[in-house]
Amino acid sequence: MNTIRQRKGIKNTEVSEDYAAQEENVKLEHKLPSGSTSRRLWETLSFTLGGTIALCVGVLTSVYLATLHENDLWFSNIKEVEREISFRTECGLYYSYYKQMLQAPSLMQGLHGLMYDNKTESMRTINLLQRMNIYQEVLLSILYRVLPIQTYLEPVYFYIYTLFGLQAIYVTALYTTSWLLSGTWLSGLLAAFWYVTNRIDTTRVEFTVPLRENWALPFFAVQTAAVTYFLRPNLQPLSERLALLAVFVSTFLFSLTWQFNQFVVLLQALVLFTLDSLDLLPALKASWLYGIQIAGLLLVCALQFLNSMILGSLLISFNLSVLTARRLQKNLKTGNFLKRLGKLLLHLFVVLCLTLFLNNIIKKTLNLKSDEHIFKFLKAKFGFGATRDFDANLYLCEEAFGLLPLNTFERLSDTLLFSAYLFVLCVTGTAALAGALHNLSDSTHRPPTGSVGTGAVSLRPATAYNLMHSVLFGLLALSTMRMKYLWTSHMCVFASFGLCSPETWELLLKAIRLYNPKRMCVMRYSVPILTLLYVSYKFWPEVMAELSELREFHDPDTVELMNWINECAEHSRNPLVSSEAWNMATDHSVCSQKV
């Protein structure tokens, strides 16, 4: 008589087929110790080499940008007044607060001067820590006072070297994100190469050093890398917590250093909402990220003395609405295609209504009107009516807030970046659409873990997130030229990932019925290597020519004007009258007088 008994050494009464397969794999690994050991050794060497290259590429990019800045202005040879004049537009205004903190008799007096400032706006006393994102200048001034560097490093050099140092973090974060997505550091190297060769469209730090985006974008890149890692399946609890901590810290620093923080993070929240609704990403992880966004922005709000723009931001209302709607609408991801589509549309409607309701209640309760000019600007920009608001019209007159010029795509195509990006976007976009339709048609809801979709079409949550991230920020860049730096840097990441990813080539080769592992491996490495060789061959001479071109800052009229203002200021306490924003910022930076 046959009997069934429990296996020895296993306490569970049920053992799945997947678990049994894992047991067989473990046994095979024990039988082949030499193979597993050499594999681990190879992975360790590859990780060490890739990490070393990431650090080297980051540092070299930082040195390259700093050298361009020096060669363009001969910064080390010009006078202090000329250095400060070289900080154009609002850059000079930001630098003036760093200078003001250093010239104060003590840190407390310097902070008091920023909190009760009567120089920036005539006849008004304002709290600069509340009105502007200048905590980075405060921190740098404290570090310069505390660190023993005053004897051999001038304040202005400490300031600009810090910003160029952040560019090393920026490029390293882009490299890391591409590496995490593709599984090979080769894609990170290609992303860094594209970032440098498309420098005109990926950064402007070398000629607008103190600009807020140059502080914020490195932290934004770190946040994207942390989110990409967090969305990986089967993470250990400790790894998840560390990833969430990295997301929180980078989100907080990004929001603290840029005035457009809430709008950028709102786009990220829309990415999470879209993917969560289409079941392309785990709902629990999306909830964690919603909460971190709210916590990071509220902490910035507290540091900025309850900044009204943050309290009344759409981001906080939207995230709270999404979390509330999820509680109200249960079994949202069950049923056939039509039922799920109907539930999804209802969910979208509920979230939209809740967002507008919460935002309106918050603004009326706190009497907030600080961001009205933004919505008036958007309304006028997209042709929904004219506006007489001064700030909105000022934005409309600025070229930086206009549409993205078409010649941008010509420059990006010269390096093969835009062509590769469109290729990867088409492949992964098709896979995401097929996966979303499959999920909506699946009556038995299974939470996404490793990938979404079945059969020949599958896409990991981290890939889906970066795909949607790239699409939304691309639309933002097309509508507003100043925001293109959010898109073009991520374009380097996404295009390089796609060329080096087995995911992309597997999808493509299966679609044309030519898939086999060897062919996929050949395509995965040969295409990016050939691209690297082409980019290096074509643009290396241009990079060397840029580095060899020496110019000098020369503006004697403005220098004479600033010297005259300083002389007059010694005999008069009247505020300066400036006709242009550039003059106002320069006057404030060089002369530190009331404007």
Would you tell me how many other CB atoms lie within 10 Å of the CB of residue 480?
21
Compute φ and ψ for 459, nearest 5 degrees.
-150, 130
Beta-bridged to residue 452, according to DSSP, are 459
Closest CA to 356 of 341, 379, 384, 375: 375
Q: Which tokens in the block code for residue 436?
A: 């979303």
d(CA 275, CA 224): 16
Which of the residue ranges 120-124, 219-223, 350-354 would you say has the lowest mean pLDDT?
A: 120-124
| Residue 124 contacts residue 116 (beta carbons within 8 Å) | no
Q: Among the ranges 112-126, 293-307, 554-568, which has the highest mean pLDDT value?
A: 293-307
Average pLDDT over residues 258-287: 93
What sign does the dihedral 299-304-306-307 (CA atoms) show?
negative
How many distinct helices (H) and strands (E) make up the chain? 27, 0
Amino acid letter for position 334: T
Task: Encode pLDDT of 517-571 as tens digits.
Answer: 899 999 999 999 999 999 999 999 999 998 998 888 888 888 788 777 777 765 5
> 3-state DSSP call for residue 459?
strand
194's tokens: 């594209």
Q: For the segment 315-349, what is each residue's pLDDT rounded down to a tens digit?
A: 999 999 999 998 887 777 777 888 888 989 999 99
Residue 530: which residues within 8 A CB-CB, separation 6 or more? none
Cα dihedral 381, 385, 389, 392, rounded to 10, equals -10
Give the DSSP letter of residue 122: T
Amino acid in the structure at residue 69: H
Q: Which letter, b or e, does each residue of 127-151 get, where b requires 16 or more Cβ atoms within 10 Å of its Cβ?
A: ebbebbbbbbbbebbeebbeeeeee
> How much of the chain is in helix, strand and coil states, percent to nearest 5?
75, 0, 25
Total residue length of the chain: 595
CA 225 distance to own-chain centroid = 9
> Measured on CA atoms in the order 389, 264, 315, 381, is the torsion positive or negative?
positive
List pLDDT tens digits, range 456-515. 456 899 999 999 999 999 999 998 888 999 999 999 999 999 999 998 898 888 888 888
pLDDT for 579? 44
What are 191-206's pLDDT values in tens digits? 999 999 999 999 999 8
CA distance 514 to 501: 17
DSSP labels for 7-43? PTT---S---HHHHHHHHHHHHHHH-HHHHHHHHHHH
Residue 378, pLDDT above cutoff 90: no
The CA distance from 557 to 204, in Å, is: 26
Phi, psi of 452 (to 5 degrees): -115, 145
Report the run of H or E that residue 430 belongs to, with start and end: helix 417-441
pLDDT (0 to 100) of residue 120: 84
Per-residue confidence (pLDDT) for residue 571, from 0 to 100: 57
pLDDT at 390: 65
Place of tokens 């087929």: 17
Does residue 387 carry a pLDDT above 90? no
Residue of 378 and 513 predicted with greater confidence: 513
Residue ranges of the alpha helices (H) in 183-277?
185-197, 199-202, 212-230, 237-257, 261-277
pLDDT reported for residue 103: 92
Taking residues 127-134, report their average pLDDT.
Answer: 92
What is the C-alpha separation between 124 and 132, in angstroms, rounded?
15
Which string of DSSP letters, residue by residue, matches 318-366? HHHHHHHHHHHS-STT-S-HHHHHHHHHHHHHHHHHHHHHHHHHHHHHH
580 has a pLDDT exceeding 80: no
Using the predicted structure, report yes or no on whether residue 243 has a pLDDT greater than 80.
yes
Q: At 119, which amino acid appears?
A: K
**Residue 572 binned pLDDT confidence (cut-offs 50, 70, 90):** low
The encoded tokens of residue 156 equal: 């202005």
Going by C-alpha positions, the residue among 160, 153, 158 that lies closest to residue 73 is 160
pLDDT in tens, 137-184: 999 999 999 999 998 899 999 999 999 999 999 999 999 999 999 999
DSSP code at position 405:
P
| 118 φ, ψ (degrees, to nearest 5) | -120, 20
C-alpha R_g of the chain: 27
In the block, which residue shows the tokens 């794999």?
A: 25
Tell me what the mean pLDDT of segment 53-63 comes to: 96
